[in-house]
Amino acid sequence: MNTSLKSRWASGEVTLGAWCMIPEPLTAEALGRAGFDWALVDMQHGCMDYETALEMIRAIDLTPALPVVRVPWNDPGIIGRMLDAGALGIVIPMIQTAEDARRAVDACLYPPKGRRSFGPVRVGQRDGPGYFMEANERIAVIPMIETPEALANVEEIATVPGVDALFVGPFDLSIALGLPPGDNDGKPAFDEAIARVSAAARSAGIATAVLSNAKVAPLRIGQGFQMISTTTDINALAMAARGDLEAVKSTQKKEN
């Protein structure tokens, strides 16, 4: 079994990942083989259904990367299904309160730490009969902080037993702060929000996570984030395609 994200964070490691929006197992496998520590299947804003997400997790399992899923909502049904499919981390959007976070933990962990139902049909094939005994120690529970209410309650959310990292959603958080969607570093409201989430996580002894890109990721590392995405599949594809196209067009212009 691969080392868990939780154990890497506990040892002080920074883990870099890729974001899968395209509903395609081959793309997920390619990202997993590119050297990332984790690959996330985005069921909230990505284009995949459950069956495709399952196949994407299986494809990531062929690589050194760890499979993570962002579920559409804080719902125990889909959380349980993605864990049974093999996810080793669950990112839960729009967490507002400590009670929301407790419900997420309940959905992710087996008793006595949570209320997850037992039935690891697919993940049991991957990890064998020992899965149940190790699942609670391997699965990372990662609530997103992306609203004013979540920010106001972030210290309480961080201390909920079973929460392993706080995930900053910079786009929704920026919108909630009256800023354009994106990374708004240098804007006082955004900088203060980042600092507050980071401080809450440090005080609780858990990690911080964030959606990012290659340009901003070094700043996030300096801020102490330990789970950082550096690319999305759709952006990487579009940028590489544009780069190749422009290179050929540039050559044509020189020849003419």
Of the residues 45, 202, 242, 249, which is catalytic? 45
CA atoms within 13 Å, Cβ hemisphere of 183: 11
Q: What is the DSSP string of 237-248?
A: HHHHHHHHHHHH
* Cα→Cα distances 47→44, 88, 233, Å: 8, 21, 12
Q: Is residue 45 annotated as part of the catalytic site, yes or no?
A: yes
Q: Which residues of 119-150 are buried (b: 16+ CB within 10 A; e: fewer)?
A: ebebbbeebeeebeeebbebbbbbbbbbbeeb
Q: What is the DSSP string of 151-172?
A: HHTHHHHHTSTT--EEEE-HHH
**DSSP secondary structure letter of residue 117:** P
Q: Which two tokens stand for residue 31?
A: 């990202």
Catalytic center residues: 45
